[in-house]
Every structure is written in C-alpha cells, then in structure tokens.
Structure 1
Amino acid sequence: MKIITITLMLVVIIGIWVLLYPESELTIRAGDVRQVSNKLYQVLKTWANNRLQTHRLRQSLVQREVMLAHSRQLQIMSINSEQHELAAKAFRRTIVFQKHQKTKVVIPIGSPALVDFAENELNSYLLNLLVEYYPTHHWHPLETKRIPWTNYFYLTIKQK
C-alpha cells in the first residue's frame, strides 16, 4: 500500500512539474536511477525486517507471559497471575522501528503498577531475545518513559 501511495505521489509531482515547466529538458542518468533504487531497496528491506522482528518479539513475549500466568494458578499467586495477563496484553502492542539508522523497540505498558512488574520480568529476557534476533547490534538497557501530562508509561530499548 505504501509503495502504491509513493508511486502515485511521484507521478503527481512529475505531472505538476511538467505542467509548470513545459520548455525545460529532463535528463535522467543511470547512476541517479541506481542510487534511488538502492535507497528504496534498503528502506524496504529495513521495513520488512522490522515488521518480522516485531511479530517475533510480540509472539515470544506474550507466549512467555501466558505460560508464567498459567504456571502460577495457586490462590496465593492469583494477583501475580493477573499481572502476567495484563503484561501479556501490553506486550501484544510491541513496536520495532528504525530512526536515524538506529533500531528502537517500544513496549507501551500503561499503568505505573505494571511498569515495575514488566521491568522485573523483562530485564534480562528481552535483551537475550534482541541479541538472538539482531546478532550484530548492541543494545542500551531497558528504559522507562512517561508521556508528558499523562500517566501512561512505556518501555524503550535503543540500539547503541
């Protein structure tokens, strides 16, 4: 869908340019076309890789939390089990994207009570997953951030 939108925008821009400057000449060199195609290939490759890794991280994190919640079904651990289920719901919204050639993982958590629980659960596990999925990257530790003027928290991990 994005490729179609970008192509249509390019066609519209070229059409407007042709209408505004009908007397000018257009020179397209092979090197320019190669540069644009290489850049487009790199952007598409990065985007596809990030979507794949987002899916893998979500699946791994959610599956682990659901397994921990089911393994702790005793009455004493029922509160902890509820937190595991809430954490699994939050981990389903994990996002992986790239900004300034640095990969970033964002996990929207929400409530401050769940932040401490999620940090304790993810401190080493998430870094191990990221090292497994991105073997050539090095990662900063897990950070907790809050959206200003709200009480909504999210966890981030950035590539060094």
Structure 2
Amino acid sequence: MTTERTGVVTFAGNPVTLIGPQIQVGQKAPDFEVLANDRSKVHLSDFHGKVKLISVVPSLDTGVCDAQTRRFNQEAAGLGEDVVVLTISADLPFAQKRWCGAAGVDRVITLSDHYDMSFGRAYGTYMKEHRLECRAVFVVDKDDQVTYVEYVPEVTQHPNYEAALAAVRQAAGK
C-alpha cells in the first residue's frame, strides 16, 4: 500500500500530494536505488560507515535548487572525509552531469531518482502531481540512523542550512 500525504508541502503556493512515509528522527534510514551520473545503480548501503547529508531538490536547473546544491558543495570541504553530501533529484543523470560540470560542483554527489522514484517513495519526497522531489534535507549517521529531517514546507524556499550543517557536525562528532 502506498502512503499519500497531503497538507505537508506546497509548491508555488499550491498544495501537493507526497507519496511515501514521513521520515522521523531516530528511525533506520530506508534503502533506495538511484542512478549516478554514469547511470550505475547507487544504494544507501554504498555509503555505510559515513555520515550522509542528503539534500533533495526538484531540479538542479532552478534557482533555489542550484543555490542549495552550490551551498552544500561549498560546505562539504569543511565537513571531513567521513561525511558524504548527496543531492538527489528527478533530473536525468546526463543533465546532472552537465549541470555539475557547468557549475563547478565537485564535492557533492548528484544522484538521479528519475527511473522509478525509489528514493522519493522511500523518504516521502515524491510530489505526485509533478513527478518531482519536494525540497528536503536528511542527515543519516554512520550506522544509518536518521538524525535530522526537514521537509521544506514551501518547495520554492530554501532549507535551514545552518540546522542541517549543525546536525551533520554533531553526527560526525565535530
């Protein structure tokens, strides 16, 4: 049975339906299957033993998503080798690769959920009306426990960068 949630998020002021559960702090992070820029399959388990900052955006080709990904890319340099920053969107892997090259983004790993929205369905970020991800940030510790969750209430607005980065530092013991 697919969980559908309404009244949680708006997109440009319009309510949307989110498919998938609402992730909670303290729960085990659900696994997912997304595609890397070379179209290889990537799973949460590929990053076991690292703190994971998962930045979720609708499309890298929009202003706020671009700024969010650039900000986390800039911050990634100071987070240490035991932290990985993942940006997940429904953009095609080819578009993500092109965007990263043009933007000079080299510390964030962009991952595509376009194929079957596995991440969106597992983390409750799949916007049914648009077949895009809503804006969200998750921090998952080295043992794959969720330590921070933010579903941004209005998709066109920025997440709370400071709170997310503080959660990453705490999970990484910094």
| TM-score (norm: length of structure 1) | 0.24
Q: Which has the higher helix share?
A: 1
| TM-score (norm: length of structure 2) | 0.23
> Whose radius of gyration is greater, 1 or 2?
1
Q: Which has the higher strand share?
A: 2
